Amino acid sequence: MAGSQRRIAKELAEITKDTPEGVTANLVDESDVYRWSILMEGPEDSPYAGGQFKLLLTLPVDYPFKPPALKFETKIYHPNVTNDDKGAMCLGILKSEEWKPSSKISAVLRTARSLLAEPNPDDAVETSIAEQFKNDRKEFERVAKEWVTRYASKRA
Amino acid sequence: MNVQHFAAVNVARPYRYHDLGQGAGEIRGSGPGTELITRLNPGDWSSSDKAAAAAAVSSSSGLPSSNLSSSTLSSSNVVAVQRLVQGSTPVTTAVMPVRVPVGVPAPGPVSGPANSISFGPSDFTALSYFTSPALCCQHQQPPPPPPPQPHPSSTRYKMGSMQSDEELATLQKLSSEYEPDVQGPLVGKRQSSQAITAEYANADPAFVRKTRALPQKFSHYRTVKGDGNCGWRAIAFGYFETLLRLGDKNQIAAEEARLKSLNNLLNVAGFQEHLYEDFVEETILLLREVASWVPVTDDGAALLAKFNDSSISNAIITHFRLLTSAWMKTHADAYQPFIPDKTVEQYCATQIEPYQVEIEHVGMNALIDCLIKSAGFAVEILYLDRSAGEEVNTIRFELETSAGEAVFPDAATMRLLYRPGHYDILYKVEDVAELLSAATQVQLVSDLESFSPIRDVPMASTYGQFNPWFAEIPGMSFVPGVPSGLSGLSGLSGLTGYGGLGSLSLMPTSFAPAAEPTVPQPSMTPSALPISPTPTATTPSFRPSKYEYEAEFTPAPPANLPCQTATFRNSHYNPAHFLNSEFQPEMWTPETEIKSESKSPDQIRH
């Protein structure tokens, strides 16, 4: 336990010092280092540009030996994010058989954001969106943009 | 569909699919794009078994099946043979019927599923692995049965056309989320290796033959949890245990310095210090604790407890994974030839560094090269498979000169038992005795008091006269209630907790158990204890020693402490030696006696 908290605190300090581009990270609750609230801006040159997505990063108690889980609390039209209330993101490095204890949370967040810029339809969780992404890119971008305005516009 | 992903899962946890439900079925696939026919015998299958078998098929061949949602495999007796062949060769997967003998209880301390399997009549040449649940990593506890799943009565699939992508995605998801429910401690207690023989009593004849020969050479073994880290954990545990067994504080300090300096290796390989320092720290802390446990008083129980603390244990194996990865990257020329389809860099990223990915032979080589050989230790891996031969194949890894000769021929050796997909730890009897003797020695000092009743006994002129009295001392009849021969081994593991040990322990040599348990050795019966001059004592003692009693010799009674005569003061029968913390009692080991008749008397170390 203590080991995971120490490691997480270290990574949190690193992220606040050297924030990945377009990402801000905070603890949901200051007393709980295992839940991080992430704000991610849609990358430029992608249908998600201008959107702001809220994510929840949950770290297991035996972190870093088990991978963190990342989910979108803001709805997003994306082949690699489940289109349900869970919003789970399918990220290669977060799979338990690919997770390395030497991976960092900041690397996870960077990979997640690059997945927004470049969806990976071959490893999709939403196969119909993936089909559309491959075959009808225009329509995909239209819907994705529509969802951004509907769910992910910066209201502040 | 992402076939590659399926395959990756398969490689990472090869044991997962082999432990299937009871029943019969046959599944043939003749390559991508063709029809997959599944013939199941519905009457023989429980729904969970079907789902488990279906999961195995879909996972191994990349072909779809329905009802994959039952992800926990049932653990009764069907053998799945998987042969993944690349290119145009057909992908064959068969679930084979086996005959299960009725009424065979699961023997031994491993409380797993019924461990007995015999094979159905067939020519399953592809069946090179996995004949019983015990062979699989998750053999310690059967997973709880999955909730019943509705199952279609017909299981006839066509690839592509009948399965929508959505279903495939679901299957994929279930497959990738599958977690085997492995129970039991990370590192188990040391137990008699008779348990392995018992486990395999009804297995394939090759296993029966080999496991029967096993306890004759290796008296004990220790299970390691099959969670995808067993090879790593077995080596890591063996490393610390060997240091503890040798009990040389200087060596432990030297290892601490060496492991710290290996941080440079990690830096060279590009690992960031703030990421690995936590893992390294746990290793260093445990090394220091090991040093503080010397001399051993608890038979390594403290070390076992540390290794069953997952945060410590995992940090250490992560450290060793990173070290291995760094070692491979910096010695790429040595390992690249063994990795046909990847660069060393890629191999480390996918097979060495990820947590829960089992060690393969290349990785084991690198780990031993980096960690074990430089420590001056050797590793023997005993391969328990179905190859020909009467005994398990042994491969020894040790530091060698360029001429191929061992640099340290007497290197302390740790031994692993490899069954396809899984590693456990094996012990020779002398490994155990070394750890135990240190423990009993300390106990002796505290138990000297309990020896005092002898002072009150009127000293007889010969031992023979008070022999009956002697026999009444608790513990004097060595390991009571168990037959000789076999029992020496099982009794040994419980020795430290043995209440009557103190009075017995004045003769630590008597602990050496029979080396060949299947051959009853009359010399090991209690009457042959050197101190108990039953009629057999008139014949020479069962082992040569320059300290042997003369036939008529009567040692001074312990009441005479401190000793008066120089002869007795220097004798190892003088209990005062036990107050000397440096004193190491002479030990009888069958190995050394056979090997070196000539030099065996000088085993006393100071």
Please write the tens of the pLDDT for every residue from A96-154.
778 888 888 988 999 899 888 888 888 888 888 988 988 988 999 999 999 988 888 87
B573 close to B505: Cβ distance less than 8 angstroms? no
The rounded distance, in Å, linking the Cα atoms of B564 and B567 is: 9
Residues in chain B: 606
Q: What 8-state DSSP symbol labels residue B526?
A: G
Which of B2, B10, B275 is the best residue to mutate to test the A interface, defined by the most A CB atoms within 10 Å of its own CB? B275
CB contact under 8 Å between B356 and A96, yes or no, is yes
The rounded distance, in Å, linking the Cα atoms of B63 and B233 is: 34
Alpha helix positions (H), B293-379? 301-307, 310-330, 332-335, 344-347, 361-367
A2 to chain B: which residues are within 8 Å by CB? 311
The rounded distance, in Å, linking the Cα atoms of B236 and B219 is: 21
Q: For residue A33, give both structure tokens.
A: 């280092």
Residue type, A45: D
Residue among B168, B271, B356 minimizing CB distance to A102? B271
What is the pLDDT, as a whole number, of residue B393?
86
- The domain containing residue A143 runs over which residues? 2-151
Residue A40 has pLDDT above 70, yes or no: yes
CB contact under 8 Å between A97 and B357, yes or no, is yes
Residue among B169, B311, B355 minimizing CB distance to A99? B355
Helix (H) or strand (E) holding B61: helix B47-61
Binding-site residues on chain A for chain B (CB distance < 8 A): 1-4, 6-7, 10, 14, 62, 64-66, 95-102, 104, 122-125, 127-128, 131
CATH number of the CATH domain containing A123: 3.10.110.10
Regions of chain B with pLDDT less than 50: 1-161, 445-538, 559-563, 600-601, 603-605
A62 to chain B: which residues are within 8 Å by CB? 310-311, 314
Of B188, B168, B164, the C-alpha closest to B176 is B168
Residue A15: pLDDT band by 50, 70, 90 thresholds? Answer: confident
CB contact under 8 Å between B356 and A97, yes or no, is yes
Please tell me whether residue B222 adopts helix, strand or coil conformation.
Answer: strand
| Residue A80 counted as domain residue | yes
The rounded distance, in Å, linking the Cα atoms of A123 and B225 is: 32
| Average pLDDT, integer, range A30-52 | 89
For A122, the closest chain B residue by CA position comes to B2
Report the 10 Å Cβ neighbour count for B288: 13
Which of A127, A128, A133 is the best residue to mutate to test the B interface, defined by the most B CB atoms within 10 Å of its own CB? A127
| Residue A51 counted as domain residue | yes
The rounded distance, in Å, linking the Cα atoms of B10 and B516 is: 40
What is the pLDDT, as a whole number, of residue B576?
67
How much is the ipTM here?
Answer: 0.79
Residue type, B150: P
For B168, the closest chain A residue by CA position comes to A127
The 3-class secondary structure across A63-76, one letter per residue, is: CCCCCCEEEECCCC
CB contact under 8 Å between B314 and A1, yes or no, is no
Q: What is the CA radius of gyration of chain B?
A: 28
Task: Return the half-sphere exposure (C-beta side, CA atoms, 13 A cut-off) of residue B43.
Answer: 0
Q: What is the pLDDT of residues A25-35, one digit of tens each?
A: 888 888 888 99
What is the pLDDT, as a whole number, of residue B436?
64
| Start-to-end Cα distance in chain B | 68
Note if the bond before B474 is cis, omega within 30 degrees. no
Distance from A123 to chain B by nearest Cα, in Å?
7
How is chain B split into domains, by residue range? Answer: 3-177, 187-427, 430-447+455-595
B276 touches chain A (CB under 8 A): yes
Distance from A148 to chain B by nearest Cα, in Å?
25
B386 close to B79: Cβ distance less than 8 angstroms? no
Rounded to 5°, angle at Cα B244 from B109 and B517: 40
Residue among A98, A102, A127 minimizing CB distance to B169? A127
The rounded distance, in Å, linking the Cα atoms of B143 and B226 is: 13
Domain count, chain A: 1
What is the pLDDT, as a whole number, of residue B466?
42
Residues 6+ apart with CB under 8 A from B340: none
CB contact under 8 Å between A1 and B311, yes or no, is yes
B278 touches chain A (CB under 8 A): yes
Q: For residue A106, give both structure tokens.
A: 């900041």
CB contact under 8 Å between B314 and A122, yes or no, is no
What is the pLDDT, as a whole number, of residue A36?
92
Q: For residue A142, give both structure tokens.
A: 């239209």
B279 touches chain A (CB under 8 A): yes
Using left for φ > 0, alpha for ψ between -120 and 50, and beta otherwise, residue B537 falls in alpha
CB contact under 8 Å between B276 and A100, yes or no, is no
Residue among A10, A101, A122 minimizing CB distance to B274? A10
CATH topology of domain B187-427: 3 helical TM bundles of succinate and fumarate reductases (1.20.1300)
What is the pLDDT, as a whole number, of residue B240?
94
The rounded distance, in Å, linking the Cα atoms of B26 and B245 is: 51
| Residue A156 counted as domain residue | no
B157 close to B163: Cβ distance less than 8 angstroms? yes
Q: What is the pLDDT of residues A51-76, one digit of tens each?
A: 899 999 999 988 888 899 998 989 89
What is the pLDDT, as a whole number, of residue B176?
64
B41 close to B24: Cβ distance less than 8 angstroms? yes
B54 close to B80: Cβ distance less than 8 angstroms? no
Bridge partners of B40, per DSSP, are: B25
Instruction: Write out the catalytic residue numbers of A.
Output: 90
B376 close to B411: Cβ distance less than 8 angstroms? yes
Residue type, B16: R
Report the 10 Å Cβ neighbour count for B267: 13
